[in-house]
Amino acid sequence: MAGRVIVYGGKGALGSSLVAFFKAKSWWVASVDIFPNEEADANVVLTPTDSWTDQEKELESKVESIVTGFKLDAVLCVAGGWAGGNAASKAFVKNSDMMWKQSVWSSVLASQLSARHLTEGGLLCMTGAKAALEGTPGMIGYGMAKAAVHQLVKSVAADNSGMPKDSTTVAILPVTLDTPMNRKFMSTADFSQWTPLDTVSQKLFEWTTDKKSRPANGSLVQVVTKDGVTSFVPTE
């Protein structure tokens, strides 16, 4: 096999695309999610109602059993979700709690997993959001959680973070991904301004396999698609 990668959120739209892409390149791929991905070589299925610390224990125990004797080339965390609502919304706290669990819990667990199982020179990629670089009054919980992921990336990329030697930690910051769910709920949108999943998968595969192509350690990389052309632009 060419290499080994764990896709955290491997049953979601982007996660499934990544699993399929890496598998097509003859990589060993494990998926971490609340549902199994049948295409993956191994699955770690977490219980969404468990506490953060219980998920940690379950994740570490199951990962230990599937990666015995080898290190990972990359951990790609694309778990997450979206919910709207301002501070006056009845679901403000509920949605904020859900966003925190989906984006921050998963990113923290992926970071710990990487510190323990990533090879030297490996890649950890998390998923932020371009919108969270500024205020998000119509989706406060979402923006808050994604901004926390941005800070996590900066911390994990810094010296003395516990990450393996010469590893790279970055985040992609999409605007709108071209997923079946987005098409269902925004059927009249201009899809040429949305980022295809295969485009993201290709870029993350490139970063995994070609260290020279990677953004600088700690980069927050905006993923912007305009008229069908996608650019990956590090935030200054």
The rounded distance, in Å, linking the Cα atoms of 223 and 227 is 13
Q: How far is CA 169 from CA 74, 166, 172, in A?
A: 10, 10, 10
Within 10 Å of residue 9's Cβ, how many Cβ atoms?
27
pLDDT of residue 94: 96
Q: Residues 202-234: pLDDT tens digits? A: 999 999 999 999 999 999 999 999 998 999 999
The rounded distance, in Å, linking the Cα atoms of 148 and 84 is 17
The rounded distance, in Å, linking the Cα atoms of 138 and 160 is 37
Q: Residues 73-95: pLDDT tens digits? A: 999 999 988 899 999 999 999 99
Q: Which of 28, 142, 205, 207 is catalytic?
A: 142
Tokens 């301004």 correspond to 193
Within 10 Å of residue 181's Cβ, how many Cβ atoms?
12
Q: Which of 178, 160, 165, 164 is nearest to 228 (CA)?
A: 178
Residues facing 106 on adjacent strands: none
Q: What are phi and psi of 95, to 5 degrees?
A: -70, -35
Residues facing 168 on adjacent strands: 123
Specify whether 8 is catalytic: no
Going from N- to C-terminal start, the domains of the chain cover 4-234
pLDDT of residue 2: 87
Which tokens go with 231?
């650019």
- The number of residues in the chain equals 236
Which residue stretches of the chain have pLDDT < 70? none
Q: What's this model's pTM, rounded to 2 decimal places?
A: 0.95
Within 10 Å of residue 164's Cβ, how many Cβ atoms?
17
pLDDT of residue 106: 98
The alpha helices in 67-139, defined as continuous H runs, are 92-99, 106-117
The alpha helices in 67-196, defined as continuous H runs, are 92-99, 106-117, 140-157, 180-185
Task: Tell the CATH superfamily of the 4-234 domain.
Answer: NAD(P)-binding Rossmann-like Domain (3.40.50.720)
pLDDT of residue 187: 82
pLDDT of residue 182: 81
